Amino acid sequence: MKTLAFASRNSKEILRDRLNLTFGIGFPVVLLLLLTMIQSNIPVVLFSIDKLTPGIAVFGLSFISLFSGLLIAKDRSSSLMLRLFTAPLTSSDFIFGYTLPLLPMAILQVAVCFAVAFFLGLGVSINVVLAIIVLTPAAVLFIAIGLLCGSLFNEKQVGGVCGALLTNLSAWLSGTWFDLDLVGGAFKGVAGALPFVHTVKAGRAALSGNYSSIFPDLWWVIVYAVVIMVIAILVFTRKMNSDNT
Amino acid sequence: MIAIQTINLTKKYKGKIAVNSLNLTIEKGELFALLGLNGSGKTTTIKILSCLTKPTNGDAIILGNSIISNPIKVKELVNVSPQETAIAPNLTVRENLEFIAGIYGSGKKLSKQKAEDIISSFELSSITEEKAKTLSGGWQRRLSIAMALISEPQILFLDEPTLGLDVVARRELWSVIKRLKSKITIILTTHYLEEAESLADRIGIMAKGELKAIGTAYELISKTNTKRFEDAFIALAGEGGIQI
């Protein structure tokens, strides 16, 4: 009950920030349209819609980190957090209260990407539903990154880390824009050690019906999501119990 | 019946003592004002008693519950109106009230009912659908106190509730606080001496983390051989203040 009351307030705060919301859902859609237009005007296959859509969906999820990070950082800098910390809420009420409203938003964002892709030539199949399910752990991962950043940084810093750094990392190191084999070396090594490329690969495998290739890439995402969520919970709890929130 | 009892309550921040062996007893239904200069330990005391920060030493018993061993129970019994206005800016007045009722365990229906009741008693009906961030400072402070009361606390901490308000808004809040007197226990911190003199049953004066004196305004004037409460306060809380 307490968690749901807190989650409801967080939903309203996010949904009423129209600028962030429009940008978060609109920007990935614009990219999808733009890159599809480029593809239609070049002779080589660079951005085929079935490869592009899971990548853009993952890129779009980085905005969810920005939403969650900003919400927590804003709360931490306000007196409202003092009031909330004096309420009988546990750290799990806080974490679930922040996560619950973001998860359906993240899934909706991924679904919007696929819905737009249908109009751009993506075939309608049950694999789209599977791809959305496969991308759900990635949604949890990006929410956890936002929770962690919001617990550690102030509003301005969250804007820099989640808004600039994370969006770029998730774009360049995901293999969405170009094949990582083309660069190779340390760049490919770093990309392989991070979860973004694995998320896109798992999503592409699900979408193409290549079910046996979903794992082990999905394991990377799940392990990253669990580890970062645990770290976020620990950091938030520590902040909650410290003298300076 | 005792509402609050502190036992050698001490708080140190990086070796600096903010509250030093505070021993204080506040009766149920009392309006107790805690006065002191900046940095005297008033807000730290409120933060400890509301379980926002842990004491370095000592304990406090709130309506029979230790703030150290049973903070969740204590949090269910108390509520705080912090120094700065603590509201959710993008929620309406009604949503803010329902939100706080919800996080204190009320279901949706009960939260709505409680919000309706407090809107009526705090005369907020003209602004219920306005977003909190669009309200004037006085209305925001009134909402902040209403949010603290919606959980029906047995003890209410008001940390400088009228700070920064104009004279009219301050007097309006005083009448709200007076209406609450004797119904619940209120611990008020303030820099406005006339506020404490007008509202409080008893006044505690803190200086450098220690409780220097305790009593009614009249008793403090009498004990310090002064003529006005302001003089009594300066004698107790000022540099080299006396201990009585």
Give how far B23 is from chain A: nearest CA, Å: 22
What 3-state class would DSSP assign to A19? helix
How many percent of chain A have pLDDT more than 90? 36
pLDDT for A150-194, tens place per residue?
989 888 888 888 777 888 888 888 888 888 888 888 888 898 899
| Residue B220 counted as domain residue | yes
A90 chain-B contacts, CB cut-off 8 A: 72
Rg of chain A (C-alpha set): 18
Inform me whether the pLDDT recorded for A95 exceeds 90. no
Q: In Å, what is the CA distance from B81 to each residue of A84, A186, B23, B114, B188?
A: 11, 54, 23, 18, 10
Measured between CB atoms, does A147 come within 8 Å of chain B? no
| Residue B108 counted as domain residue | no
pLDDT for A109-130, tens place per residue?
999 999 999 998 888 999 999 9
A5 chain-B contacts, CB cut-off 8 A: 98-99, 101-103, 111
Measured between CB atoms, does B95 come within 8 Å of chain A? yes
Measured between CB atoms, does A193 come within 8 Å of chain B? no
Stretch 38-57 of chain B: residues touching chain A, C-beta under 8 Å: 50-54
- Nearest 5 degrees, angle CA B189-CA B213-CA B187? 25
pTM for the full model? 0.82
Encoded amino acid at A45, one letter: V
Inform me whether the pLDDT recorded for A17 exceeds 90. no
Whether residue A50 contacts residue A57, with contact meaning beta carbons closer than 8 Å, is answered with no
Inform me whether the pLDDT recorded for A22 exceeds 90. no
| Residue B132 counted as domain residue | no
A4 chain-B contacts, CB cut-off 8 A: 102
* Contact: B82, A82; criterion CB under 8 Å: yes
Closest partner residue to A89 among B80, B103, B111, by Cβ? B103
**Of A137, A121, A155, A125, nearest in space to A198 by CA:** A137
**Of B72, B192, B90, nearest in space to B131 by CA:** B90
Measured between CB atoms, does A164 come within 8 Å of chain B? no
B53 chain-A contacts, CB cut-off 8 A: 243
How many percent of chain B have pLDDT more than 70? 98
Across the range A226-241, mean pLDDT stands at 89
Encoded amino acid at A141, one letter: L
| Residue B134 counted as domain residue | no
A1 chain-B contacts, CB cut-off 8 A: 102, 105-107
Measured between CB atoms, does B192 come within 8 Å of chain A? no
pLDDT of residue B244: 59
Average pLDDT, chain A: 87
Average pLDDT, chain B: 90
Which of the four pLDDT bands, split at 50, 70 and 90, describes residue B26? very high
A243 chain-B contacts, CB cut-off 8 A: 13, 53
Name the residue range of residue B10's domain.
2-84+155-237
| Residue B210 counted as domain residue | yes
- Which of A18, A78, A79, A86 is the best residue to mutate to test the B interface, defined by the most B CB atoms within 10 Å of its own CB? A86
- Which of A2, A9, A14 is the best residue to mutate to test the B interface, defined by the most B CB atoms within 10 Å of its own CB? A9
Inform me whether the pLDDT recorded for B238 exceeds 80. no
Cα B46 to Cα B83: distance, rounded to the nearest angstrom: 10
Task: Say what the ipTM of the complex is.
Answer: 0.84
Give how far A108 is from chain B: nearest CA, Å: 23
In the block, residue with structure tokens 């409080």: B200
Which of the four pLDDT bands, split at 50, 70 and 90, describes residue A244? low
Torsion of CA A217, A163, A85, A227, to 10 degrees: 20
Which of the four pLDDT bands, split at 50, 70 and 90, describes residue B243? low
Inform me whether the pLDDT recorded for A138 exceeds 80. yes
| Residue B98 counted as domain residue | no
Report the sign of the C-alpha dihedral through residues A127, A129, A131, A134, in that order: negative
Inform me whether the pLDDT recorded for B117 exceeds 80. yes
| Residue B148 counted as domain residue | no
Closest partner residue to A6 among B79, B98, B103, by Cβ? B103
- Which of B103, B114, B154 is the best residue to mutate to test the A interface, defined by the most A CB atoms within 10 Å of its own CB? B103
* Contact: B102, A5; criterion CB under 8 Å: yes
Strand stretches in chain B, DSSP E: 2-13, 16-27, 31-36, 57-62, 65-66, 78-81, 155-159, 185-189, 202-207, 210-215
A84 chain-B contacts, CB cut-off 8 A: 103
- Count of A-B CB contacts under 8 Å: 79
Chain B residue with the nearest C-alpha to that of A3: B103
User: How many domains does chain B fold into?
Assistant: 1
Give how far B225 is from chain A: nearest CA, Å: 40
Residue B52: which CATH number?
3.40.50.300
pLDDT of residue A245: 47
| Residue B188 counted as domain residue | yes
Measured between CB atoms, does B107 come within 8 Å of chain A? yes
Strongest mean pLDDT among A24-28, A52-56, B7-11, B133-137: B7-11
How many percent of chain B have pLDDT more than 90? 59
* Contact: B102, A83; criterion CB under 8 Å: no
